[in-house]
Structure 1
Amino acid sequence: MGVDYYEILKVKRDATDDDLRKAYKRLAMRWHPDKNPDIKTVAEAKFKQISEAFEVLSDGQKRAIYDQFGEEGLKEVSSDSGFSGGEQRFNQRNAEDIFSEVFNRMHLNPRMKSASFNSRPRNGRSSTHSVFSGSNSLNGSPRNEGSSLGLRRAPPIENKLPCTLEEFYNGAIRKMKISRNVVGPGGKIITVDEVLTINIKPGWKKGTRVTFPEKGNEQVGLIAADLIFIIDEKPHEVFKRDGNDLVTTQKVTLTEALTGCILSIPMLNSKALTIPCTEIIFPEYEKIIPNEGMPIAKEPGKSGNLRIKFEVMFPIELSTEQRATIKKVLNGGGSP
């Protein structure tokens, strides 16, 4: 059948028009792009999908075709039926028109059947009123904080989510179980458990914000708060992160610093990186290994650098003979 419009609206296949309208209002209020500026691209796609589902199922003719032939059947309907086929059959303007029509009816005089949020004043310029904007309601009176539905939004709830460098390096999926109050039948407050999924992308950094719209506690007459997780970084035993670079400090003996050594560094992907050091390691020397740092989230396939700093371990004491030998070698083979 392709797209399941019933599943999108979370209704049964025998849903009534009233069921469809209630489901659409609830989901449209939640996913309208104006309400989700932090995830606007995702919200726009979801909002279009919800509006398309409602547009089809609330129309008896289209719903009958969809129930019998599915989404492909709708594509075959001629433009004379009011529903054009092809991939361009639905767009953001359609979604906004549906939204305006459904919610506009809630503020009009009962004797009026319908109206549009789009009005054309005498000067010829059109204006659009959104239930999420700071403009006045249709009757011209000042709006309360929140939407023209008269609802206020609870302030967002923020929580830190500590993550390891391994999770930032490889990516990870975190499951967060939450308990929240929701408004049940008859306005009764009930507690439900939910599991939220956070997909940590390789290259994410401390301070990244993940928003779950309206996942806070619900209250009658109040829009539930957004639940926001702020990504934090746990300390690591081997590495520190500096932007997209990984920095580590390796201990070497004085002999290794002067004559060379081979390092074996355990990396964040559980593999060991073998690095030969043939150069002389002097104070504040730093060895750079390109592309072995953190993945760069905005540039897939690219990584920062691995920067190796050194701590040279000097001997506590030397014998007279050892001192003489070292002096002879450092003086180019002359007499000690």
Structure 2
Amino acid sequence: MLYDQVTPRPNVWKANISAIQECATKTGCYRRLALHYHPCCAQPGEDFNECFSAISEAYDVLSDLKKKAIYDRFGEEGLKGGAPINSEWTKPYEEMDSQVEHNFGGLNGRGRPHQDPPIEREMSLTLEEIYNGCTKKMKISRRIMNEDGHTSSIKDKILSLTVFPGWYEGTRITFPKEGDQGPNTIPADIVFILRDHPHKHFKREGTDLIFTSSVPLGQALLGCIVDVPTLDGRLLHVPITEIIHPNYEKVVPGEGMPLPDNPEKKGDLRIRFNIQFPKKLSGDQKLSIERAFFG
């Protein structure tokens, strides 16, 4: 019976059946019942969904004279069988959802669960680790709710993070819902942000590697060979046959960082130069330079 549907199970909610039926058509009483048995107000171990749906359904019918008349005459099957109903009342629980959220959203953790903002942590990696790819183990401490649903404890957890070759600085790796647990709270996401650890030889610009070589003025003018240790353990011997001027840059294709979306391909190695000028010249050196440049 529809009137019985608004009656919560006595062994769970201990509601007064006659009281519910008596005031089922009264808006004030409906609001009071719906607020009390709204799913958002359930305590741990309680399930108000079925009861709340029954209360809403009963009020939807009993508060509408046409629906109530059809129900009184034809019963529940009359409502389901397509008897003509013209009513403006639809889904009373939508209004109640809004009211419950307003009334209980911030009361001692009751109301709809909310998620804390992401927890961001920077993770410094060497260029070798980014060039070759690696797996990092990150230890976190997080608050875990105990089985009683009220107390909590702090426990450590190891997060395994796989870094793929060539990832850009600023890449964000998200571990969903690994933050602290709390009553009526969705744990925050933990986000690790990749940062380049300073390197003694290189810095990177996009997928290119920048290497700076110091050369004396004589080699800058006459040419030289620059040795470049690579991030995967090789040693490149790069011949420089052009005159090295202050803005000169030697590009070695394919010796930069792997492309994140296709690690088989790589950016370029760009060799820049720090030209070392002599602090003084002997007379013979000055004469030699004069003959070389001025005939």
Using structure 1 for the length normalisation, give the TM-score: 0.56
SS of alignment partner, residue 300 of structure 1: strand
CA displacement at 1:213 relative to structure 2 = 1.0
What's the CA shift for 1:178?
Answer: 1.2
Counterparts of 2:227 and 2:203, CA distance in 1: 17
Look up the SS of the partner of 2:130 in the other structure. helix
Percent identity of paired positions between Structure 1 and Structure 2: 41
Paired position in structure 1 for 2:117: 155
C-alpha distance in 1 between matches for 2:53 and 2:215: 87
Q: Which residue of 2 aligns with 1:141?
A: 97
Shift of 1:165: 1.4
Match of 2:239 among 268, 271, 276: 276
RMSD: 2.6
SS in 2 for 1:301: strand
Following superposition of structure 1 onto structure 2, how do residues 249-328 of structure 1 map, counting pairs within 5 Å?
A: 249-328=212-291
Partner residue of 2:155 out of 192, 195, 208: 192
In 2, Cα distance between the equivalents of 1:229 and 1:277?
41
How many angstroms apart in 2 are the aligned matches of 1:217 and 1:232? 25
Please report how far the alpha carbon of residue 106 of structure 1 lies from its aligned counterpart in structure 2 after TM superposition. 6.4
Partner of 2:137: 175
| Unaligned residue ranges in structure 2 (runs of 5+) | 1-46, 55-91, 106-110
Q: How does 1:1-336 map to 2 (within 5 A)?
A: 107-109=49-51, 141-142=97-98, 144=101, 150-187=112-149, 188-331=151-294, 334=295
Instruction: Supply the AA of the counterpart residue of 2:256.
Output: G
Aligned residue identity for 2:116: A
What amino acid is aligned across from residue 275 of structure 1 in structure 2?
V
Whole-Å separation in 1 of the counterparts to 2:244 and 2:215? 9
Encode CA deviations 1:126-150: one digit per residue, 9 max, x unaligned: xxxxxxxxxx9767622848xxx82
CA distance in 1, matches of 2:141, 2:153: 10
**SS of aligned partner of 1:316:** coil
Ranges in structure 1 where 5+ consecutive residues have no aligned partner: 1-104, 113-135
Cα pair distance change 1:260/1:106, threshold 3 Å: farther
User: Bigger relative contact order, structure 1 or 2, given CA contacts below 8 A and separation 6+?
Assistant: 2
- CA deviation map 1:153-186 (0-9, x unaligned): 1222111111111121111111011111101221
SS at match of 1:284: coil
- The one-letter code sitting in structure 2 at the alignment partner of 1:317 is K
SS at match of 2:243: coil
In the alignment, the residues of structure 2 paired with residue 208 and residue 311 of structure 1 have an alpha-carbon distance, to the nearest angstrom, of 32
Q: Report the CA distance between 1:245 and its aligned residue.
A: 0.9
Cα distance in 2, alignment partners of residues 194 and 211 from structure 1: 15
Amino acid at match of 2:189: D
**Counterpart amino acid of residue 311 in structure 1:** N
Q: CA, structure 1 residues 111+150, in 2 after alignment: closer, same or farther (shift >3 Å)?
A: closer
Per-residue deviation, 1:108: 3.3
Q: How many residues align?
A: 205
Asked if the contact 1:163/1:232 (under 8 Å) is kept, the reply is: yes
Q: Secondary structure of 2:265's partner?
A: coil
1:317, 1:277 → 2: CA distance? 26
Runs of 4+ displaced beyond 4 Å: 136-140
Q: Is the 8 A contact 1:107 1:138 kept in 2?
A: no
In 2, the alpha carbon distance for the partners of 1:321 and 1:139 equals: 98
SS at match of 2:201: coil
Tell me if structure 2 keeps the 8 A contact 1:291–1:306.
yes
